[in-house]
Amino acid sequence: MADTNIPYSLNSKKVAEATWRLLEERGVHTEEIAELVMVLQKKYYPDLSMEECIENVEAVLSKREVQNAVLTGIQLDILAEQGKLLSPLQELLANDESLYGVDEILAFSIVNVYGSIGFTNYGYIDKLKPGVLERLNDKSEGIVNTFLDDIVGAIAAAASSRIAHRKQEDHEIEEGEPTAPEQE
């Protein structure tokens, strides 16, 4: 009740925490997303460690644009699971209709956070569905992950793009070359 007197003000910490919590509640652990990053990147960087993969996934998840997409997509999955969406959106989502592309659109807003070089990684992993993506794609359990599987693949693709940018910077510093770091 008292809430009605408190004027709205964005609280970025709440948004960030809800993002992490919802992913966990839907059964996706940061480590599993990091494993997808490893699948995508190990052939380019044989020394890549899981710690680096996790660190890069966490950086992706710190972005407001990513948090907005995660919160919106998971919300729609949950509502579809509860049968609370209007028909025919309810059926489109509950059946992961292939002509429904809003899940890919949200995924793309995530991939884009580190630029267009992540587009192919996203498509590749979304088709192959290694690791956690295979589980998320299992439709037998009455669970709706129409948005979540694309979102998780997109986070892994964005983290891979971030690694590519960082490794270039590291390489230039190592070689003693002049470098021009990207600002946040």
Residues of span 73-102 touching a second copy by CB under 8 A: 75-76, 78-79, 84-89, 91-92, 94-95, 97-102
Cα atoms found within 13 Å of the Cα of residue 177, Cβ hemisphere only:
10
92: buried, middle or exposed (CB in 10 Å: 19+, 13-18, 0-12)?
A: middle
Which amino acid, residue 135? R
Among 24, 49, 64, 134, which residue interacts with a second copy (rule: CB under 8 A)? Answer: 64
Query: Cβ atoms within 10 A of the Cβ of 182, count?
Result: 9
d(CA 89, CA 106): 16
The alpha carbon dihedral of 55, 131, 81, 97 has a sign of: positive
Task: Supply the minimum distance, in Å, between the C-beta of residue 49 and a second copy.
Answer: 18
Question: Which residues ranging from 133 to 162 are in contact with a second copy (CB under 8 A)?
Answer: none
Q: How far apart are CA 132 and CA 80, in angstroms?
A: 21
Rounded least distance, CB 76 to a second copy, Å: 7
Nearest to 70 by CA among 115, 22, 30, 113: 22
Answer yes or no whether residue 105 interacts with a second copy by CB under 8 A: yes
Which window, 28-36, 45-53, 103-111, 130-138, contacts a second copy (CB under 8 A)?
103-111
Give the single-character DSSP code of 110. Answer: H
Minimum distance, C-beta of residue 176 to a second copy, in the bound complex (Å): 12
* Residue from 24, 29, 42, 65 binding a second copy (CB under 8 A): 65
The stretch near a second copy (CB under 8 A) out of 27-35, 46-54, 108-116, 130-138 is 108-116
Per CB under 8 A, which of residues 19..58 are in contact with a second copy?
22, 58
Between 27 and 115, whose beta carbon lies closer to a second copy?
A: 115
- Nearer CB in complex with a second copy: 32/126: 126
